[in-house]
Amino acid sequence: MAEQRVALVTGSSSGIGEAVARRFADAGIRVVVNSARSVAAGQQLAAELPGAHYVQADIAVQADAERLVAETVEHFGRLDILVNNAGTTTFVPHADLAGATPEVWRRILDTNVIGTWQTTVAAVPHLKASGNGAVVSISSIAGSRPAGSSIPYAVSKAAIEHLTRLLANVLGPEVRVNAVAPGLIETPWTKDFTAIAEHVRQAAPLRRVGLPEDVAGAVLALVESAYTTGAVLGVDGGAHLL
């Protein structure tokens, strides 16, 4: 019997990351749950998933990102899948240019882009050793459209999408690198997006707001898609057509 695969899901104590962790566990994949601050929630989720392990780490801090990968490999002896889900934002209207201060830019880019980069770099040797390594990063519809909680956030997601293509180009054939770009998803971050949610329900082809489980299904599909790399898969109910 083949040894179970191991997945590290960053930012997985709630929302999309939690749904991904649960979907992986249902598929027989052992999971490392991670969060920067929500330690109790992360520990509780890991306790609920068969054979899961929790590691507290802030991927924006290089030493933390490297320790997160190291502890994953130390605990399980391998790493087959990395899901770059951890991210942050600040809500700034796009027209409020002064509100998108350099501090806001640095905080968002430090986590969303640099954090993703340094976690991936730390994971690559282990993903190559797996023989079937896979990276899936969580982008956003804001990465390709003038949308999102702030301009810095949207730019960070555009960076994630191009980083996906660049990494796919240099890490094949040992490691496949893809991304998913969700539209509006029901999470604690979006609970007050009532006007946008109603617009999606009225206008998007699938006539509903997405669920974290919708994104989790797409992530698992990319992990299992052996001939797909460098792809950015929209998970938005067709909202990109509007």
Residue burial 123-133, b: 16+ Cβ < 10 Å; e: rest: bbebbeebeeb
Measured between alpha carbons, how far is 13 from 44 in angstroms, rounded to an integer?
9
Angle made by CA atoms 92, 97, 103, in degrees to the nearest 5: 70
DSSP 183: -
The sign of the CA dihedral 60, 128, 5, 177 is: positive
C-beta separation of 17 from 180 below 8 A: no
Measured between alpha carbons, how far is 169 from 79 in angstroms, rounded to an integer?
21
Catalytic residues: 153
C-beta separation of 72 from 32 below 8 A: yes
Closest CA to 7 of 18, 226, 25, 19: 25
DSSP 114: I
